Structure 1
Amino acid sequence: MPQRLPTPYRDENAIVARRLAALAQALDWDAASRQAAPWVRAVRRDPPPFWAMESLLREYPISSAEGLALMRLAEALLRVPDADTAIALTADQLGRANFSGAEGDSAMARLSSAALALSRKMLPDGRSDDGLFARLGARTVVAATIRAVQLLGRQFVLGEDIAAALAEAANARREQANVRFSFDMLGEGARTEADAQRYLANYTHAIEAIAQRASPDVPVERNDGISIKLSALHPRYEDAQRERVLEELVPRVASLCLQAARANVHLTIDAEEVDRLELSLDVFEALAQHVAREQPQWRGFGLALQAYQTRAVDLIEEVAAIARRHGLRLMCRLVKGAYWDAEIKRAQEMGLPHYPVFTHKHHTDVSYLACARSLLDAHDVIYPQFATHNAGTIAAIVQMARERKAAFELQRLHGMGQGIYREVLRDAQLACRVYAPVGRHRDLLAYLVRRLLENGANSSFVHQLADESVGLDDLLRSPLYASPAPALPLPAALYGPGRRNSDGVDLTVDAMRQPLLDALARTTVPSMPMTDPAEVAAAVARAHAAFASWSQWPVERRAAILSTAADSMQARLPHLCALLVKEAFKTWGDAVAEVREAIDFLRYYALHAVQLMEPVLLPGPTGESNELRLEGRGPWVCISPWNFPLAIFTGQVAAALATGNTVLAKPAEQTPAIAREAVAILHAAGVPHDALQLLHGTGETVGAALVQAPGIAGVVFTGSTEVARLIARTLVTKDGPIAPLIAETGGINAMVVDSTALPEQVADAVVQSAFRSAGQRCSALRLLCVHEGIADAVVEMVAGAARELVCGDPGRLATDVGPVIDADAFANLGRHLERLRRTARPLFAADVPAGAPPHIVPPQLIEVQAIADVDQEVFGPVLHVVRWSGDPLAVIDQVNALGYGLTLGIQTRIDSRAQAMAQRARVGNVYVNRNMIGAVVGVQPFGGEGLSGTGPKAGGPHYLLRFCAERTLTINTAAAGGNVALLAG
């Protein structure tokens, strides 16, 4: 269906200008500031007598070492199952900070500081004796630290179950009558169907409990309610799975809505990330239609809106339209937003035109106030709920609402904002709802970290309220102005003025994905004739002749040609993506990423060639000049693989051309059409035809003939270790100069997971690393090494997440895993799996759906007894699992012993452990607490060592050097009678 909202990637300043215009006659900020000032003075004069966010931030600002250590401990310590790791984590974090000398007036703050300071003194630091006394002392102090972290958790969790939370809510209401609650059952998005069913049961139980205390005879807004996450109720809550989400998720949420409606309590759908917003609206309207049919009198159905999104006002207009279409009055909770840093990073990584969120904090404040006006203007169909801890914002909302005589409520987070709301609620006409997390303290981590980051920033009102050095005028300064430029460079300028970032595609935006789908419909894969091996000698001769002129072109001219080719690829992105889908069986996300990588290679090598090939003057004795310069070597053979038939092909060719070499390019025999497109683009940009020649054929015929040909200046190869060895032997035994070999080969890539790692984060990283691209990446995860203390839970979650992947036609947006490249690859994987089933324990294998294309290998997990049992690379979606205990460095040693050295993943919250493991590993690319794939040109130079390649690393600052010959020119400048410059001095 057509998308409801404008693109999220629009000019920030233009949007802010419109929001300011809308507020020009609607808000008197000076009056709001005057109303808020007494609240601030009262809080600073008489702060709340318990350890709220304000005192925590005063004690340990998030920008400090202490604040960061506390956040890390709160995030991880309570879930660590074994004492040794808990000791290591606590020592690691507390060793970086100083918790002594707390100055806070909160007894809890002082108690926690004392415990943390004592912990720091007593924990082993790597230099102390590791005897029984030290071990007992460490365990005792870890217990004290856990208690301190639990005390922290108690400030932000209303109760560990819904019954306890309801009791606490009742106590709060006895102290202040105009307080209501919205209970949030702690937990993140579901990774598995079992997760989703567990969250559904939790929500159902919570509504039952809330209903028992709700009054059936009062307006629903006076009762408590519940907030739910759609991503918690479906493991694939994402735009690409729209049909499945609407079929499976809507009935689940509809049952909760009807349950809440019958109980006269409210139910609010929490806000999520930008890429899910259109899907959320589709789900929301489907539910609204259901409510209108089944419970039209219910006025408790709601949605949370994030003001930091550039489409926030557009979203309010759409929600109001939904309410009017279905004859409902809806609740809308307006929040600032909780995923700002993730949205910024996503836009940068994807090369999007603009950011989908405001980059200046005060622009978000402007948006919040403009959203407030829109909500209040629609009060006939919307009951506005304003979640804020900012005194000036509260006063502005009260002002605008009373001018419109609109009903509304204020909201705050449990554990935050108590002081301000103590003063605000002295006005009995105002009401506040507390957004209250419910759950075990160990499940608090993701929520707490987001809240600490959100409210702990130096620019946040909560932080500045606690800092009395910030004057009242500064604290309540008007946000109603526009900054002239974004606070961050746009994604296109991420790499600075010298190199433009490639432009990407957000496949959740219809206007951006439709050109790709249109291109797919008109793209066919042309057949290409094979090159006769007998023609290789003539091609080499042409390459030699072309080298004489191409190598003499100014490097700036060659670089300009590569930059032109990059622009042409950018313009042809839809067609190139469609060809990758058709010929190489790439899924859409992988296809877009590959075209962008090819563009990045062209721009990066063009820039670096100009910098690198500038002659360098070297020091020397008087009367002499010494100059070092780089030049091309001659004709290079570039042999590229089928798994990245555009990106690796283009990267090899671009590096050779940029440095003045000519190229004989042999693409993989499975993907010649993509290579032909790349060559045509380079020729059209200005590369002479003889300087870049495409020779299509098998490795055994054309490839062998090229490597054996006399006069080849070098070979760059990406493929198997066995073929790289053959090429190396051939080059060494040939007559004539010894040609260099740049080889990037395979890997048995491992991920080592300790017991501090967050299982949900591990599952995400594993599924992406092992199964994306059908496991056909050089960098793909092959061996998962999990600490035995969490192995069962992690394996269950990974298997459950893999079960939800969609295998099938890569041309469908919903497909996660397409076919392997050909029948030979399919047969090889089948034989390997058959061997494994006899020697290892299968854990999980996904089903292949009926009607799937041929050569689908479904994702699967197989447990082996030891790391050494995995002795060969398996190029497909097959993940080997091994359990470990003891010293994590010993695990790294065992991985090193396999002899490969391409990629390694580390999942741990112990910073010093991550550093030690990375230093011990003999691999080219180490990734900590993220996936292991998708190396970015110039950001993560890619390449391995040992059995995984020769180096240098592709997309790195040293790669071009290997393509060059170094020459030194020394001139005796005093040969004509003496050093005139010296004599003149």
Structure 2
Amino acid sequence: MPQRLPTPYRDENEVVAHRLSGLAGALDWPAAAVAAAPWVEAVRKHPPPFWAMETLLKEYPISSSEGLALMRLAEALLRVPDAETAIALTADQLGRADFGQHGGESSIARLSSAALSLSKRFLPEGGEPGLMGKLGARTVVAATLRAVQLLGRQFVLGQDIEEALDEAKDARREQANLRFSFDMLGEGARTQADADRYLESYRAAIAAIAQRTPAGRAVETNDGISIKLSALHPRYEFTQHARVMDELVPRVWTLCEQAARANLNLTIDAEEVDRLELSLDVFEALAEHVAAQQPQWQGFGLAMQAYQTRALELVEHVAAIGRRLKLRFMCRLVKGAYWDGEVKRAQEMGLPHYPVFTHKHHTDISYLACARALLAANDVIYPQFATHNAGTIAAIVQMARANGASFELQRLHGMGQGVYREVLRDPRLACRVYAPVGRHRDLLAYLVRRLLENGANSSFVHQLADESVGLRELLRSPLHASPAPALPLPADLYGPSRRNSGGVDLAEEAMLDPLLRALASTTVPVVPMAEPGDVAAAVAAARTAFAGWSSTPVERRGAILREAADAMQRELPHLCALLVREAFKTWGDAVAEVREAIDFLRYYSRQAERLMQPESLPGPTGESNELRLEGRGTWACISPWNFPLAIFTGQVAAALATGNTVVAKPAEQTPAIARETVTLLHAAGVPVAALRLLHGTGETVGAALVKADGIAGVVFTGSTEVARLIARSLADRDGPILPLIAETGGINAMLVDSTALPEQVADAVVQSAFRSAGQRCSALRLLCLHEGIADAVLEMVGGAARELACGDPGRLDTDVGPVIDATAYDNLRRHVGRLQREARACFPPAAPREALPNLVPPQAFEVKRVADVAQEVFGPVLHVVRWSGDPLALVDEINSLGWGLTLGVQTRIDSRAQAIAARARIGNVYVNRNMIGAVVGVQPFGGEGLSGTGPKAGGPHYLLRFCAERTVTVNTAAAGGNVALLAGAAVQ
């Protein structure tokens, strides 16, 4: 469907200026601050309960070791099934903090002093404890576990809906003007089974709430429920739009009907920026059902995040839907819950602007502007304002009373009690409590997010608890624009010397359309094959060109490469389309690869300018010593088909930047992409003779190139077997000893202990093992799961893998395309056949969505030992092994395989992650994330052992291998003595 909202990637100051202009004359902030001041003073005079968020953050700020330890323990400890790991986690986190120094007046401080500080005496440090030590450690873990459970009780209203309803009833006895919106805790669904479980949880909750709801009241005064769409569908993503509309909308409508019959309110919670248009489509489809079948129901609603730069347009659009359908919605306005994630995503994707405001007061401005719009749309929206900020509350009350609009306030359970205790002394005001319901272990992600949001130094909750922040400062007006974003724009992430490559948000129609148009007009051209006899002529021409290119100033060479990068950026849609057509890349992978190629050109050009400046070295007086780097000559660059643009460009750019000339042989499956790259480099100013392309097979053209006279070095990415052949060929040559830079593959493992969050593990495994059809050097091949969580994680991974769409990579909704050719397909089928005989299948592979050649659906097999995985298989086939005991012993087993490219570690034990990384003989170690997608200049990539020679591509040492080092020493005192020394001396 066409996009209804403007792009979120707009200039922040322009958006803020528009919001400020809309507030002009509508809000008297000084008066609001005066109204809020008594609330703040009363809270500081009579602090909230000791378990409230404000008190917790005052005792243990998240910037402190104690606060961080408490947050980590709250996030992980309750889900650890085995005692040994629980001891290790507790020791790791509490060992970094000193809870004993917290002797404050609150009960939490006393609890911490009495229980948590015992870890110093009993928990193991640096080794396995003895029997008495273990007994003591278990005691402390039990005390810590109890402390975390008590913490959870303060932020979960009940462990089930009945308990939550009882607690809500008790709360209303103390404060009559309270209402509740119940949130059934849980992560987003990864599997259909997850989605079914969450759906049943919502149904049961609505039924329970309905039983306790008196008849005949206005829906605004009744309790309600908040639902998360990502919990109700395992692929709630913009790429799966058709599936979501066909499958999710009917499921949610059953909940809406149930809520409508009971006259309850049902609010769709907000999600990430890239899901906003999708959420709006689902909301509008459901609203049409409401209008057709339950038009009297006024309890349907949507949460809106003010930190998004298009929040105001969202308010206006929802109001327009209400007027078109003659409905009234209940809309919750929040500040926003994923700010740090949105910032990181924009930086990683190289987007033109941030989709969220980078200054807190800009978000406050947006919140107030959205509040005004919601109040103005009171005919079709019942506004609900979720905030703990006393100044914001006062401003909302002021604006609402100015136009007579009805509204309610909202707060989170366990937070903001102090402020709302004072605010609700006014009987005309009502507050709805957003109340999590669920097991304490399900609280973890929710609680940590709330701690991070409210514990930031700039947050009102944090500053309210800090009495050193004066009243005037706490309630100062947010109504001013800052001149620049608080963070460098994504393009400027790497500083002034290197511009970040620009990416594409495929959820944005304006960014996606050029790619789809390019695909429609792109065909794969035929590239003529070279003959072995062509190799000598190409090498000779490149050798002749070497003198001119190497003498070209490095700054000029760098400028040419950066011009090529800019051209590649302009041609991104066409290059992406060619990658889809020739290399069977999915759209996300294609965009990432073009960006990586651009980054290589920019990074190596700047690195060469830095490294190749003459360097003066210290020495004795009367002598000068200078070190210089020069190109070696003509390099043979042999690149693979799995990254036919990025690796090809990286190899060529490194050689050219350092003054070498190049003869490049791309993979025989993907010559068109390579030719397009060479054309761009020539157009940017690289002499035709300095860069020659030879398309042919490895057995003919590749072998001849390696053996050609005049080659100064070889850079190769591909299989270990071919790298060995190249090394032997170079070693057998007469003449100079030539350097070989080889990057090969690996049996890449991921080690998962029982502290890891299963949802995060499942995401990382699916991305690392199955994205790009498993055809990455860095892809996950061996998953090592702690036996305590292996069954649960495998069930989640299997369910998530079955939801992947296998088919035509030109479709936006395709996750896994075909492998590169029939030979690769046949190799995979033989390997899978052997595993079916010798191992246990972890889950049935999903059926491909369409009949295409060479499609291999993701699958996994459990083997008995690490050593059973002896061969790298290039495709979406995962091997799984269970482990227990010492994780470092498992690392030794992985090391013994001889490969050393990538290793994933999933653990919440920081010291364990560091110990594993130190023990592993692995080039790239990734902790608590996926194992793919190394970024140029950020994660230099390359392995050791069977996985390559080094140095790391995209790193600060890569260019050195392309250079010859030369020193020039001049005896400056040879003629007549050391004049400089004598001129500065006291001559007698």
TM-score band (shorter)?
over 0.9
1:119 and 1:161 map into 2 onto residues whose CA distance is: 33
Query: Conserved in 2, the CA contact under 8 Å of 1:387 and 1:410?
Result: yes
1:889 and 1:194 map into 2 onto residues whose CA distance is: 35
1:287 and 1:120 map into 2 onto residues whose CA distance is: 56
Aligned to 2:605: 606
The letter for the 2-side match of 1:528 is V
Whether 1:289 and 2:295 are equivalent positions in the alignment is no
Pairs within 5 Å for 1:97-116: 97-116=97-116
Aligned to 1:597: 596
Aligned to 1:47: 47
- What SS does the aligned partner of 2:249 have? helix
* Cα deviation 1:891-925 (Å, max 9, x = unaligned): 10000000000000000000000000000000100
* Cα deviation 1:190-249 (Å, max 9, x = unaligned): 000000000000000000000011122010010100000000000000000000000000
Aligned to 2:251: 252
Pairs within 5 Å for 1:313-328: 313-328=312-327
Q: CA deviation at 1:117?
A: 1.3
Pairs within 5 Å for 1:268-417: 268-417=267-416
2:15 and 2:304 map into 1 onto residues whose CA distance is: 17
1:101 and 1:915 map into 2 onto residues whose CA distance is: 27
The letter for the 1-side match of 2:67 is G
1:62 and 1:30 map into 2 onto residues whose CA distance is: 32
- What SS does the aligned partner of 1:174 have? helix
* Cα deviation 1:136-190 (Å, max 9, x = unaligned): 0110110000000011111100000000000000000011100000000000100
The letter for the 1-side match of 2:78 is L
1:158 and 1:104 map into 2 onto residues whose CA distance is: 26
* Cα deviation 1:354-373 (Å, max 9, x = unaligned): 00000000100011111100
5+ residue gaps, structure 1: none
Aligned to 1:167: 166
Aligned to 1:768: 767
1:538 and 1:465 map into 2 onto residues whose CA distance is: 76
Query: Conserved in 2, the CA contact under 8 Å of 1:59 and 1:103?
Result: no
The letter for the 2-side match of 1:401 is A
Aligned to 1:431: 430
Q: Percent identity?
A: 80
Query: Conserved in 1, the CA contact under 8 Å of 2:848 and 2:855?
Result: no
2:125 and 2:534 map into 1 onto residues whose CA distance is: 67
Query: Conserved in 2, the CA contact under 8 Å of 1:58 and 1:104?
Result: no
1:509 and 1:217 map into 2 onto residues whose CA distance is: 44
- What SS does the aligned partner of 2:784 have? strand
Aligned to 1:828: 827
Q: 1:983 to 1:112 in 2, by over 3 A?
A: closer
- What SS does the aligned partner of 2:63 have? coil
Q: CA deviation at 1:68?
A: 0.4
Aligned to 1:801: 800
2:518 and 2:66 map into 1 onto residues whose CA distance is: 54
Query: Conserved in 2, the CA contact under 8 Å of 1:92 and 1:911?
Result: yes
Aligned to 1:485: 484
2:427 and 2:635 map into 1 onto residues whose CA distance is: 81
Query: Conserved in 1, the CA contact under 8 Å of 2:806 and 2:849?
Result: no
Aligned to 2:122: 122
Query: Conserved in 1, the CA contact under 8 Å of 2:92 and 2:910?
Result: yes
Whether 1:783 and 2:779 are equivalent positions in the alignment is no
Pairs within 5 Å for 1:903-942: 903-942=902-941
Aligned to 1:74: 74
5+ residue gaps, structure 2: none
Aligned to 1:703: 702
Q: CA deviation at 1:119?
A: 2.9
The letter for the 1-side match of 2:590 is A
Q: CA deviation at 1:703?
A: 0.2
The letter for the 2-side match of 1:85 is T
2:240 and 2:879 map into 1 onto residues whose CA distance is: 28
1:847 and 1:75 map into 2 onto residues whose CA distance is: 33
Aligned residues: 984
- What SS does the aligned partner of 1:168 have? helix
- What SS does the aligned partner of 1:664 have? strand
* Cα deviation 1:77-129 (Å, max 9, x = unaligned): 000000000000000000000111334333244223421112343212226x8
Query: Conserved in 2, the CA contact under 8 Å of 1:119 and 1:144?
Result: no
- What SS does the aligned partner of 2:835 have? helix
Aligned to 1:93: 93
The letter for the 2-side match of 1:89 is L
Q: CA deviation at 1:541?
A: 0.9
Larger mean CA deviation between 534-543 and 918-927 belongs to 534-543
* Cα deviation 1:498-528 (Å, max 9, x = unaligned): 0000000000000000000000000000011
1:178 and 1:404 map into 2 onto residues whose CA distance is: 22
- What SS does the aligned partner of 1:247 have? helix
2:475 and 2:833 map into 1 onto residues whose CA distance is: 69
Query: Conserved in 1, the CA contact under 8 Å of 2:803 and 2:846?
Result: no
Query: Conserved in 2, the CA contact under 8 Å of 1:598 and 1:651?
Result: yes
1:525 and 1:258 map into 2 onto residues whose CA distance is: 52
Aligned to 2:966: 967
Q: CA deviation at 1:622?
A: 1.4
Aligned to 1:59: 59
**Under a length normalisation based on structure 2, what TM-score does the superposition of the two structures give?**
0.99
Aligned to 1:518: 517
* Cα deviation 1:254-284 (Å, max 9, x = unaligned): 0000000000110000000000000000000
Query: Conserved in 1, the CA contact under 8 Å of 2:219 and 2:264?
Result: yes
Pairs within 5 Å for 1:505-654: 505-654=504-653
Q: CA deviation at 1:130?
A: 2.0
2:101 and 2:880 map into 1 onto residues whose CA distance is: 47
Aligned to 1:668: 667
Aligned to 1:891: 890
Aligned to 1:756: 755
Query: Conserved in 2, the CA contact under 8 Å of 1:238 and 1:276?
Result: yes
The letter for the 2-side match of 1:91 is A
2:249 and 2:677 map into 1 onto residues whose CA distance is: 45
1:850 and 1:254 map into 2 onto residues whose CA distance is: 27
1:380 and 1:767 map into 2 onto residues whose CA distance is: 47
1:852 and 1:343 map into 2 onto residues whose CA distance is: 37
* Cα deviation 1:437-472 (Å, max 9, x = unaligned): 000001101000100000000111101111111111
The letter for the 2-side match of 1:253 is V
* Cα deviation 1:721-755 (Å, max 9, x = unaligned): 00000000000110110110000001000000000
Q: 1:627 to 1:369 in 2, by over 3 A?
A: same
Aligned to 2:421: 422
1:254 and 1:93 map into 2 onto residues whose CA distance is: 45
**Under a length normalisation based on structure 1, what TM-score does the superposition of the two structures give?**
0.99
Query: Conserved in 2, the CA contact under 8 Å of 1:565 and 1:682?
Result: yes
- What SS does the aligned partner of 2:542 have? helix
Aligned to 2:27: 27
1:121 and 1:437 map into 2 onto residues whose CA distance is: 36
Aligned to 2:201: 202
2:973 and 2:494 map into 1 onto residues whose CA distance is: 45
The letter for the 2-side match of 1:273 is E
Query: Conserved in 1, the CA contact under 8 Å of 2:805 and 2:849?
Result: no
1:48 and 1:494 map into 2 onto residues whose CA distance is: 41
Aligned to 1:502: 501
- What SS does the aligned partner of 1:845 have? coil
The letter for the 2-side match of 1:545 is T
Query: Conserved in 2, the CA contact under 8 Å of 1:215 and 1:264?
Result: no
* Cα deviation 1:677-699 (Å, max 9, x = unaligned): 00000000011111000000000
* Cα deviation 1:502-561 (Å, max 9, x = unaligned): 000000000000000000000000011110101111111111100011111110110010
Query: Conserved in 2, the CA contact under 8 Å of 1:799 and 1:844?
Result: yes
Q: CA deviation at 1:843?
A: 1.4
Larger mean CA deviation between 907-916 and 212-221 belongs to 212-221
2:227 and 2:214 map into 1 onto residues whose CA distance is: 21
Query: Conserved in 2, the CA contact under 8 Å of 1:344 and 1:357?
Result: yes
Query: Conserved in 1, the CA contact under 8 Å of 2:608 and 2:657?
Result: yes
